[in-house]
Structure 1
Amino acid sequence: MRFGKLVGFVLFVALLYILWKIRQVLLLAFTAVAFATVLNHLVRRLQKLGIPRGAAVGLTVVGVLGILAAAIAFIAPSLVSKIPESASLSEQGLIRIQEWYGQFQGMIPGQVLQGVSTQDLWQRLREANSNWTGGFFKVFSGSVNFVLDLLLVIVVTIMLLSNPMAYRRVFLLAFPKFYRSRADDILTDCENALVGWAIGIGFNMVVITLLSGLGLWFLGVPLPIVNAILAGLLTFIPNVGPFLSVIPPTLMALTVSPWRAIAVVILYIVIQQVESNLLTPLVMKRQVSLLPAITLLSQVIFAAFFGLLGLFLALPLVVVLQVWAKALLVEDILNTWPQPRWAKIADSVQGPGH
């Protein structure tokens, strides 16, 4: 008996090790599943119009890829050409801050700020600014690994869309027979949550891009389109994204005048208030409600373990995990303790006398 437990423990540790080694592939697989889940919602809409599933899948995939390709072809050239100018303007903003700090330091009497060394601070800020302006766009560059990962996600997404029920049945086989019906219901809840989240976040990204662009253009901030697109893309990352998106336009506004930088910060605060208090409650009614602290901690944890891809996928992962935790752990075990719901289901399936 002890030997069997030892073997089971060793196999469990080996499984965890294998899963950790292939964590990048698992994240890409989850990305494909999330895309397929959202696109399947569009496929079903087309099927309701009388279009066969095969044709509906083809139209959906070609339509989405066509829209993305057109957007990249229209935006990318001008966006990439503006990156050096963006970095230069941000550098000028840092220099302006350094000059003001030197003037302020000279106005302070005594030795209040005399012992504060700022040389390393400005150097680190410049390095961070350089890495920020170039590093963010490197995520979307045409590196070999990125292209291969993107192709893998696209291919797997199309495979999942072609026959989603077959893959769903295979996944349900991992559960005991008595629990498969319940697991199927949980998968449906996960699908609804992901679709609702995708619709909501997509709408928010578009609205914030438009509001940011109009506001920055009205304030006369350099490169309003670049900063607006950056703000829209970073909306995908709650909490962290809005904070990061305000840095480049604020630094660029400093090259014009101090009040413009203050106006940019106020503009972004107003836009975020509109998003959190108006757009999110209005559009994301179907989304699983996530507590802000849980959202932030999940982003930090996934970023620490899985890097930048983990940071981008943190929210959809938490959406799915919360649905499973609520259904499996809370409703089926904790709320029905001391006899969990799954045990009652098992007893009813086996019948009396077992």
Structure 2
Amino acid sequence: MAFGRWVGFAALIAAVVLLWDLRFVLIDLFGSVVLAVAFCTLVRAVQSRLGWRRWPSLALSLLLVVVLVIVVVVALVPPFSAQFRELIEQLPQAAQALQQLIGGDLSSAIQSNISNPEKWNLANSFSRVVELAGNFGIGLVQLVFVVAVALMLSVQPEDYRQVAVLMAPSYLRRRIAGVLDSCGQALSSWMVGVLISSVAVGFMAFVGLSLLGVKLTTANALLAGMLNVIPNVGPTLSVVFPMAVALLDTPWMSLAVLALYVVIQNFESYVITPSVMHHQVKLLPGLTLAAQGIFTVIFGFKGLLLALPLAVCLQVVVRELVVRDVLDTWKRPGRFC
């Protein structure tokens, strides 16, 4: 092999290693791109509805997002904090109610551990609290970074798109620009589909919890709609708190809440999401499931959270650059004599 080819091969290996080391930074940047696309979709919707220029529409969209975040925080944090404190105070009673449902000696075990400080292992607990606080601080810094980059991308999207296009060779720039536009349109369509699905889940949870008489109906419905964005894990997490609230009130109601959420998630998984996503992005279910597993292994929880938008972009890239530009140009070889 010629020296130039060895140098190119070594450069390729070095680039792959560098990308692997920077994978967590890259997934944060992709999260910023997803947020920027969502925000730009909102800006375009405001422009089309009101007929304004981009900068007033951008300011109004930012104001709407800030107000929405404040409303969600006010609606979720205070009632959940109070209910969580009540849940901790009534933990023995909850364990006793749970014992009546599933049997066993769970209540006595919890009460003995609570009443015996020697079993608490305070040193271990303190180190875990410090570790949790450190992880929370790192996560908060990363969230600020993602939001800040998303805002920068949203202010000048065409300039950043042009920079990305100029990184490609001149003969590929028009094709890369088309692929980037297709990825942006696919992400926008996916976000509309997720919004429709989340609103439907939140509405069904609100109606069901209201009929059951569970406390914090609005907050739990908002939580169910928000966590619906996280595939597989989100719906499971959304049922934990309403079950705990129902268990403190009436033990049998927790089972009713579990049954309600199972019905809602099955209806969402087999009726709402397939019809909405097929209409919006035509995302294949097998690709979705494979993407969740692969991206979770590579990027951790962030990969699970961003698995669907990654799968949407991957589907566009494979269709445009692999299928159309490579596979569709292959011709059947002639017969050999």
Partners of 2:51 and 2:260 lie apart in 1 by 46
Q: Does 1:320 align with 2:305?
A: no
- Show CA shifts across 1:222-278 (max 9, x none): 554454333222211223322343344445545566653443233223322432454
Q: Please say if 1:269 is aligned against 2:262.
A: yes
Matches within 5 A, 1:131-150: 143-150=136-143
> Larger deviation: 261-270 or 190-199?
261-270
1:337 to 314, 330, 336: 330
Letter in 2 for 1:70: V
Q: CA deviation at 1:74?
A: 3.7
TM-score by length of 1: 0.73
User: Who is 2:10 aligned against?
Assistant: 10
Query: Which residue number corresponds to residue 307 of structure 1?
Result: 300
Query: 2:319 and 2:43 mapped to 1: Cα distance?
Result: 29
Question: 5+ unaligned residues in a row in structure 2: which ranges?
Answer: 114-128, 333-337
Would you say the 8 A contact 1:32–1:157 is kept in 2? yes
What is residue 44 of structure 1 aligned with on the other side? 44
Q: Check the 8 A contact 1:92/1:252 in 2, yes or no.
A: no
Q: What do the CA deviations read for 1:63-119 (whole angstroms, capped 9, x no partner)?
A: 212321232134322223323345677886665555655569xxxxxxxxxxxxxx9
Equivalent-residue separation in structure 2 for 1:79 and 1:103 (angstroms): 29
**1:243 has 2:236 as partner:** yes
Deviates more, 1:326-335 or 1:83-92: 83-92
Aligned identity (percent) is 38
CA distance in 1, matches of 2:88, 2:329: 58
Call closer, same or farther: CA 1:90–1:253 in 2, change over 3 Å: farther
Give the 5 Å matches for 1:50-65.
Answer: 50-65=51-66
CA distance in 2, matches of 1:292, 1:88: 43
What is the SS of the residue equivalent to 1:80? helix
RMSD of Structure 2 on Structure 1 (CA): 3.6
Secondary structure in 1 matching 2:280: coil
Residue matched to 2:31: 31
The answer (yes or no) to whether the contact 2:97–2:251 under 8 Å persists in 1 is: no
Instruction: Output the CA distance in 1 between the equivalents of 2:91 and 2:323.
Output: 49
Q: Give, as a single letter, the amino acid of the residue that structure 2 aligns with 1:192.
A: Q
Q: Is the 8 A contact 1:47 1:53 kept in 2?
A: yes
Query: In 1, distance between residues paired with 2:72 and 2:237?
Result: 23
1:213–1:227 CA contact under 8 A, matched in 2: yes
Q: What is the match of residue 152 of structure 1?
A: 145
- The counterpart of 1:205, out of the listed 172, 190, 198, is 198
Deviation at 1:324, TM superposition (A): 0.7
Secondary structure in 2 matching 1:301: helix
**Shift in Å, 1:220:** 3.5
Superposition misfits of 4+ residues, deviation over 6 angstroms? 88-91
Contact preservation (8 Å) 2:87, 2:244: no
The answer to whether the 8 Å contact 1:90/1:248 transfers is no
Deviating more after overlay: 232-241 vs 91-100? 91-100
1:166 and 1:74, CA in 2 relative to 1: closer, same or farther beyond 3 A?
same
Q: For residue 194 of structure 1, report the CA deviation from its aligned partner.
A: 0.8
**Which runs of 5 or more residues in structure 1 are unaligned?**
105-118, 124-134, 340-354
Q: Which amino acid aligns with 2:17?
A: Y
Distance of 2:59 and 2:326 partners within structure 1: 42
How many residues align? The count is: 311
**1:260-311 deviations in whole A, cap 9, x for unaligned?**
3443233223322432454335644553223334323322322222222221
Q: Contact between 1:89 and 1:251, CA under 8 Å: does it hold in 2?
A: no
Match of 2:172 among 171, 175, 179: 179
Quote the Cα distance in structure 1 between the aligned partners of 2:72 and 2:247.
30
Contact 2:204 2:264 in 1 (8 A): yes
Q: How far does residue 60 in structure 1 lie from its aligned partner after superposition?
A: 1.9
The structure-2 alpha-carbon separation of the partners of 1:59 and 1:65, relative to structure 1 and needing over 3 Å to count, comes to: same
**Partners of 1:248 and 1:74 in 2: CA distance:** 15
- Compare 259-268 and 10-19 and name the one that shifted more: 259-268
Counterpart for residue 107 of structure 1: none
Distance 1:10 1:94 in 2: 61
For residues 96 and 62 of structure 2, what CA distance do their matches in structure 1 show?
47
Against the structure 1 CA distance between its residues 192 and 243, is the aligned structure 2 distance closer, same or farther, given a 3 Å change threshold?
A: same
Corresponding residue number in structure 2 for 1:288: 281
Match of 2:317, as an amino acid?
W
Contact 1:194/1:287 (<8 A) preserved: no
State the distance in 1 between where 2:144 and 2:163 align.
Answer: 24
Contact 1:36 1:158 in 2 (8 A): yes
